[in-house]
Amino acid sequence: MDGISLAKQDGPKGAPSTLRIYGNDAYQAKFRRSRAIDAPRARYTGFKNETLTLKSGTIRREGALALTCDILFERDVAVALRDGTTIYADIFRPTGDKKVPAIVAWSPYGKQVGGPALDDIPHRSGVPLSATSGLEKFEGPDPAYWVAQGYAILHPDSRGAYASEGNATFWGRQLAEDGYDFIEWAAKQPWSSGKLALSGNSWLAISQWYIAAERPPHLTAIAPWEGFTDPFRDMVNRGGIPNPAFTEAVVTTCMAGNTFVEDMPQMSIDHQTISEYWEDKVARLDRISVPAYVVSSYSNPIHTRGTFTGFRSIRSKDKWLRIHNTFEWPDYYNPEHVQDLKKFFDYYLKGEKNDWQTTPRVRLSILDPGHADTVNRPVEEWPVPGYPVEKFYLHADRTLSNKHTTTGSTVSYEAETENSLITFTHVFEKKTEVVGYMNLHLWVEAIGSDDMELLAYAEKRDKDGNVFPLPSATGEVPSTVSAVGLLRVSHRALDPELSTELEPYLTHKKEQLLSPGQIVRVEVGLWPTALRFHPGEQLTLTVRAAPKTSTKYDKGFGVSIVPVPARGGTFKPDEKVEIVELGGGMDSQPEFVNAQRVETPASRNKGTHVFHLGGEYESVLLVPLAEVS
């Protein structure tokens, strides 16, 4: 390693206690020690400030895509942020003196390889090794393709990531201001045309909402591919239920650094109602006006709602939404979609007079398990007009019906058993499409507890009530397409100004615990979907006690062995070079990393969950649908 010393396994001392948020330069927040960058699963390639020419025809690893042009690779370039913190970036750009636009991939996951990689996911989530060069950041654009198209690709290690100085943070003011500084630094480089864009999915998409809201003068366009906009409502406390498992997995298996990392898992437990901390984490979408190409799906468990919200809420005059029918990673690297994104960037970053402006503003997918999906249907807007809301009442015989019964009844389950669920079914007589958001109104009572944590999901089943098995995003287990909603009943209070018929907006400002015998009305908003039903097929609604995901959850990022040339850069396919194998076993984490994990929050599901139906209790599912030919 040249110039940078690795963190010791026992980690740095003296955790910081403050975080810059909007309106407060020294907000009290929790931090924890970062996983050391020499931990095997961090897959760090080391620090070396150098410039290499990667020759056309060379490869990064056996089986990967070969380069089709020479690439100038500037490694570990120092970038000073406004507070004096230095971060390091890798730059891939065309050789020669021509000024070029640049695409930024912003994340803390590593500039080269890093903690997470597609290799860690079964079947690489449908992205063949030969489809990418191996120079790409996880979830980011591939330099091998984009440099050949006349773009620079910039891979910063954000604050606190790997060798970059400072303490790593999640989204909010600090990340936004750092992104602003980096973009304006890049615009001043001698190779830069002064036009920059952001691209990538997941963390790389989420970051775009925050950075764009800071309005860097040289940010010309964004392309967020599946990225939430409100961590509290979309992920860590969705429906008011604390669920730090995913952020634990990110902190412990995806990130590494020499200092500290913001402890969002702990903050989600310490701050279970909205605070200044969570307000800082809501993307300021109304400040975004640059052209945007937004990509979403109905099946992402953390990004779906936020991506649609982002598209709807940004002020950009020029914005497009494409809703796909697969998963984020194969969709991002699909050659057809890469070409589509190139057309968008060529128009705005290069000024090419192509036909991008004729692209439909919204391209819709209709999912049709058991049949053929409809993809890229052009529509005018989202939500899609032409799908009137229909009421499906919940009945004690476990059916969903358009008729409300005047006779009151109840159904219930024991909240701590394996069968703590109830399913209601509607059979369609005609071909029907359900497109948009659904809202479930329930009248609930808890016996033996002062709260309830509910999970509700609507899905399509076949004529015999069987689910349609679909491959999961990781290829691990079969799943089915579901529109899902969560609610901690004590968080049932709604914002009347922001709530709509189909989209309840929870305030999360305080808890309202239940009293014995108290029956309350709640709304559970289900995230959007688009499903086609054929005659005889079923719409099923399941309501159950929400399960807990353990914070010991480990997705296995950093485990697969990724080979890279020891000298850095690339090599000729027939060349014998020294190879370094990066990665480590599941048990190779430093001991302190697992010791810092938060405990899985205790469930509030105890006793009996009772649901009141009929009569004065209008328990109903609101569904946007239309019969189709």
Could you give the C-alpha distances from 433 to 370, 373, 380, 629, in angstroms and in order? 14, 12, 17, 10
Q: What pLDDT is attached to residue 479?
A: 61
Exposure string over 63-101, b if 16+ CB within 10 A, otherwise e: ebbebebbbbbbbbbebebeeebebbbbbbbbeeeeebb
Indicate if the pLDDT at residue 567 is higher than 70. yes
Q: What pLDDT is attached to residue 10?
A: 45
Q: What pLDDT is attached to residue 14?
A: 75
Q: Token digits for 500?
A: 């709509």
Q: Which of 244, 313, 304, 317 is nearest to 32 (CA)?
A: 244
Q: Which residue type does 237 have?
A: N
CA triplet 466, 301, 228: central angle to 5 degrees? 150
What CA–CA distance (Å, rounded) separates 305 from 485?
11
Backbone angles phi, psi at 340, to 5 degrees: -65, -45
Backbone angles phi, psi at 462, to 5 degrees: -80, -175
Report the phi/psi class of residue 465: left, alpha or beta, with left for phi > 0 and alpha for psi in -120 to 50.
left
Residue 9 contacts residue 36 (beta carbons within 8 Å): yes
Q: pLDDT digit string (tens) for 503-543?
A: 999 999 999 999 999 999 999 999 999 999 999 999 999 99
Tell me the angle at which helices 203-213 and 304-313 cross, rounded to the nearest 10 degrees: 30
Q: Token digits for 419?
A: 């069968």
Q: What pLDDT is attached to residue 478?
A: 44
Q: What pLDDT is attached to residue 480?
A: 76
Residue 138 contacts residue 132 (beta carbons within 8 Å): no
Indicate if the pLDDT at residue 2 is higher than 70. no
Q: What band does 12 get if pLDDT is binned at 50, 70 and 90?
A: low
Q: What pLDDT is attached to residue 85?
A: 98
Indicate if the pLDDT at residue 477 is higher than 80. no
Span of 9-18, 165-174, 288-297, 611-620 with lowest mean pLDDT: 9-18
Residue 326 contacts residue 295 (beta carbons within 8 Å): no
For residues 469-473, average pLDDT: 63
CATH number 3.40.50.300 given to 18-359+554-593:
no
Q: pLDDT digit string (tens) for 79-136?
A: 999 999 999 999 999 999 999 999 999 999 999 999 999 999 999 999 999 999 999 9
Q: pLDDT digit string (tens) for 328-345?
A: 999 999 999 999 999 999
% of the chain beyond a pLDDT of 90: 94
Indicate if the pLDDT at residue 3 is higher than 70. no
Q: What pLDDT is attached to residue 149?
A: 98
Q: What pLDDT is attached to residue 15?
A: 79
Q: Token digits for 199?
A: 């691209």
The number of helix segments (H) and strand segments (E) in the chain equals 11, 30
What CA–CA distance (Å, rounded) separates 531 from 482?
9
Q: What band does 7 get if pLDDT is binned at 50, 70 and 90?
A: very low
Q: pLDDT digit string (tens) for 150-203?
A: 999 999 999 999 999 999 999 999 999 999 999 999 999 999 999 999 999 999
Q: pLDDT digit string (tens) for 238-268?
A: 999 999 999 999 999 999 999 999 999 999 9
Q: What band does 13 get if pLDDT is binned at 50, 70 and 90?
A: low
Q: What pLDDT is attached to residue 471?
A: 60
Residue 162 contacts residue 37 (beta carbons within 8 Å): yes
Structural element, H or E, at residue 391: strand 389-394
For residues 568-585, average pLDDT: 96
Indicate if the pLDDT at residue 424 is higher than 90. yes
Span of 47-56, 295-304, 395-404, 479-488 with lowest mean pLDDT: 479-488
Enumerate the CATH 2.60.120.260 domain ranges in the chain, comma separated.
389-548+604-627
Enumerate the CATH 3.40.50.1820 domain ranges in the chain, comma separated.
18-359+554-593
Q: Which residues contact 515 (CB under 8 A, 6 or more apart)?
A: 450
Answer whether the bond into residue 16 is a cis peptide, omega within 30°: no
Indicate if the pLDDT at residue 288 is higher than 80. yes
% of the chain beyond a pLDDT of 70: 97
Q: pLDDT digit string (tens) for 290-317?
A: 999 999 999 999 999 999 999 999 999 9
What CA–CA distance (Å, rounded) separates 71 from 67?
8
CATH code linked to domain 389-548+604-627: 2.60.120.260
Q: Token digits for 534?
A: 């054929």
What CA–CA distance (Å, rounded) separates 533 from 538?
7
Report the phi/psi class of residue 226: left, alpha or beta, with left for phi > 0 and alpha for psi in -120 to 50.
left
Q: Is 581 exposed, middle or buried (0-12, 13-18, 19+ CB in 10 A)?
A: exposed
β pairing state of 400-401 and 389-394? antiparallel
Span of 8-17, 403-412, 432-441 with lowest mean pLDDT: 8-17
Q: Token digits for 260?
A: 């500290």
Q: Is 285 helix (H, G, I), strand (E, B) or coil?
A: helix
Exposure string over 251-271, b if 16+ CB within 10 A, otherwise e: bbbbbbbbbbbbbbbbbbbeb
Q: Is 401 helix (H, G, I), strand (E, B) or coil?
A: strand
Q: What pLDDT is attached to residue 419?
A: 85
Q: Which residues contact 339 (CB under 8 A, 6 or more apart)?
A: none
Dihedral, CA atoms, 49, 53, 54, 60, nearest 10 degrees? -20
Q: Is 337 exposed, middle or buried (0-12, 13-18, 19+ CB in 10 A)?
A: middle
Q: What pLDDT is attached to residue 438?
A: 98
Beta pairing partners, 366? 374
For residues 345-363, average pLDDT: 97
Q: Which of 328, 340, 312 is nearest to 528 (CA)?
A: 312
Q: pLDDT digit string (tens) for 34-73?
A: 999 999 999 999 999 999 999 999 999 999 999 999 999 9
Is the pTM higher than 0.85?
yes
